Amino acid sequence: MLLPQETSWAEGFEQNWQPGETGARDRLQDFLDNALARYGTDRDRPATAGTARLSAHLRFGEIGPRQVWHWPLNHVRSHGGSEDAAWSFLRELGWRDFNHNLLFHRPEMPERNLKQPFDSFPWRDDRNDFKAWSRGETGYPIVDAGMRELWDTGWMHNRVRMITASFLIKHLLLPWQWGEAWFWDTLVDADLANNTGNWQWVAGSGADAAPYFRIFNPVLQGEKFDSDGAYVRRLCAPLGSGAGRIAAGLCPQTLGSAVRSSGGGRRHFGGELFAAPRQSRQGPRAGTERLQRHQERGCIRQCGLR
């Protein structure tokens, strides 16, 4: 469990979150007024404020799913506009209830594969690769941007959550439980049902009709959803000109060459230089040792220590 130390890992969170019922209602109203109409397209673009960002408020009961369900439809009916956008948003809310339903019926889901054949999968045990992933130092711009957004804000855009999770599982072949544990420790909206349900969805071991070979290509995903590199540039601080194409995901290096090529302070992405994350926050990241204590997580959750 990550706890504040001399350098608080929660520094700056107050700039992004207004806890409480008022903050939740304000967040929802702002979304309805400014983003709902374009939600169907903007929700997949991490550089755009196109999502509701209500997950943390829902997690802590500051707003209820029934409130969130009715407000969008009432908004479009009273202010005009298409209900299609509202339903596009409400379908995502449905996934939340689906995961909670799964957890109710399958309480072993946080620790065990829902599909038992995955129990014998030969996962790699490479803590260095996991450390590079958790610190946003893989060499893949959109993956690194997402992991740095998570560390800096306690939140990550949903599209990028899928990309980073797929990278850990399908590219690095590291256990989904490692990624789930890291997200549990770092997300302000960490929710037992959604976190484990979505990680198993990406892994292919969960309640999903798609087979195991669904893979999010980080290069193509960057090209498609961050084509001008705006998201990556904001979070990875590119140095030099002409970084847009690289930032979008056109990065030829593999994890090993990208992480090891610079020897420390900077990471090379296809000829461009990106600043590494602030070193002042690396100390608390000793929380990766928690991966060696998977069995303790059940006690932590049951005892309400999170």
Closest CA to 177 of 206, 151, 142, 152: 206
Confidence tier at 3 by pLDDT (50, 70, 90): low
Q: Which of 69, 87, 158, 217 is catalytic?
A: 158
Residue 102: pLDDT over 90:
yes
99 noted as active-site residue: no
Q: Which of 69, 87, 123, 223 is catalytic?
A: 123
17 noted as active-site residue: no
What does the domain layout of the chain look like in residue ranges? Answer: 13-105, 117-280
Residue 266: pLDDT over 80:
no
Closest CA to 198 of 100, 63, 82: 100
Query: What is the CB neighbour count within 10 angstroms for residue 48?
Result: 17
Q: Classify domain 13-105 by CATH architecture.
A: Alpha Horseshoe (1.25)
158 noted as active-site residue: yes
Residue 249: pLDDT over 80:
no
Q: Which of 92, 108, 111, 296 is catalytic?
A: 92
117-280 matches 13-105 in CATH topology: no
Query: Under 8 Å CB-to-CB from 195, ≥6 apart: which residues?
Result: 180, 183, 184, 187
Q: Which of 133, 182, 199, 201 is catalytic?
A: 199
The model's pTM: 0.79
Q: Which of 87, 95, 217, 223 is catalytic?
A: 95
Give me the CATH code for the 117-280 domain, please: 1.10.579.10
- The letter for the amino acid at 123 is W
Closest CA to 261 of 131, 135, 139: 139
176 noted as active-site residue: yes
Mean pLDDT rounded to a whole number for the chain: 79
Q: Which of 17, 133, 155, 176 is catalytic?
A: 176
DSSP conformation class of 3: -
Q: What pLDDT, on the 0 to 100 scale, is given for residue 2? A: 56
- Summarize pLDDT for 158-172 with one digit per residue, the tens: 999 999 999 999 999
More confident residue, 278 or 247: 247
